[in-house]
Amino acid sequence: MINPQILALAIFALTYVFIILFYNKKTAIVWISVFLILLLRVLNPGQAFDSIDWNVILLYFGMLFVSEVFLFSKMPDYLASIFASKAKSTAMAMVIICAFTGLLSIFLENVAVVLLVAPIALSIAKKCQINPVPLFIGMAVSSNLQGAATLIGDPPSMLLAGFAKMTFNDFFFINGKPGIFFAVELASLASLFILYFLFKKYKKPMPGITREKFISFIPTFFVIALIASLVIGSSLKNNISYLTGLLCVVFGVIAFIWYLFYTKAKDTKKFIGRLDWQTGIFLIGIFILVQSLSANGILNYVAKFILQIGGGNPFFIFMMIVWISVAISAFVDNIPYLVAMLPVVQVITQSLGASP
């Protein structure tokens, strides 16, 4: 019989290779791997089910509905057109659009945000007779960066919060010190200066932009109410392990019910089809896949290997983990990497006696 450690490692490695080669099929690839893990008894069904962080899953799917209804309201279009119209030069308008894309991505799924703001970016590029590609790249950078600022901004933030048992408020202040939110905002501010430096060659005066009209203010209220609920929920001492996920699901259901009443249930299939179901299903599979490594001790081996290379120096090990993460995430999906590395870092910090 083949060693379970070898099987787990081989399946995980092949999964990564196939995800890189056939990225559009990543969800199917992961679930084929999950099926093999269960079939070959690398994990049993109970272990697989227990490995899933259901709070993260609930949080993700709840935010899908809240985000989509908010985007449907056209309020982001309205605000983007107002902000861009205030710019005196094309370069400044491009920076404003990037900043606005990032701002939305703090609380909304960033892929949907970029797709939403893209038509306004195209309109600016067309009117100013410039190539839209630099603007799109700036939007993508801003969106990805700001997605890490809060618990609900992006799946990696959700994973971090789930594993480290962080609340919504912990992203702002943790253990009495400024949290990841402020680090991200400083980086975002720096990125806007860099973007302006790259865009400054576009010196033409900004032509007039038609202000978009929004459909309703109610979805904006849902977003504000959800954030307020997460802040209050984080401040209260409670024993509800799924509180964040439940709150997001509740507001997701409320938002969807409003959408059904407002549209009289028209185009519901299109609405459902626009939601990014695949990432959530992919995430569930990744939890199981990584558990196959953890249950068979492979992640402990990785942690010991990093400790050995680092020679027990906390700063060197920290820098090594950061730059390995940067390099790997440039080429492969950051979700499976993060799910795998969070428990590795926990083992490393325990060995060093450092704070995780």
- C-alpha separations of 2 from 5, 8, 119, 290 in Å: 9, 10, 54, 19
Backbone angle region of 184, left / alpha / beta, with phi > 0 → left and psi within -120 to 50 → alpha: alpha
State the pLDDT confidence band at 27, using cuts at 50, 70 and 90.
Answer: very high
The two three-digit tokens of residue 331, written as one number: 């080429």
Residue 241 is predicted with a pLDDT of: 64
Which is more confident, 215 or 77?
215
Which is more confident, 229 or 206?
229
Q: H/E/C letters for each residue in 225-259?
A: HHHHHHHHHHHCCCCCCCHHHHHHHHHHHHHHHHH
Question: How long a stretch of residues is the chain?
Answer: 356
Residue 1 has pLDDT above 70, yes or no: no
SS3 at position 279: helix
Out of 49-58, 110-119, 280-289, which region has the weakest mean confidence (pLDDT)?
110-119
Residue 285 is predicted with a pLDDT of: 92
State the pLDDT confidence band at 187, using cuts at 50, 70 and 90.
Answer: very high
Average pLDDT score over residue span 201-221:
81
pLDDT of 221-242, one tens digit each?
988 998 888 888 877 766 556 7
Residue 252 is predicted with a pLDDT of: 93
- C-alpha separations of 225 from 151, 203, 218, 219, 250 in Å: 16, 41, 10, 10, 11
Residue 255 is predicted with a pLDDT of: 93
Residue 42 has pLDDT above 60, yes or no: yes
Residue 238 is predicted with a pLDDT of: 61
Residue 250 has pLDDT above 80, yes or no: yes
Residue 259 has pLDDT above 80, yes or no: yes
**pLDDT cut 70: percent of the chain above it:** 97
The two three-digit tokens of residue 36, written as one number: 């093999």
**Strand extents, DSSP E, the chain:** 173-174, 177-178
Return the DSSP state at 178: E
Residue 92 has pLDDT above 80, yes or no: yes
Average pLDDT score over residue span 127-141:
87
Name the average pLDDT for the chain.
87
pLDDT of 310-346, one tens digit each?
888 899 999 999 998 988 888 777 888 888 889 899 8
pLDDT of 151-186, one tens digit each?
888 888 888 888 888 889 999 998 889 999 999 999
Handedness of CA 153, 158, 159, 163 (dihedral sign): positive
Residue 115 is predicted with a pLDDT of: 77
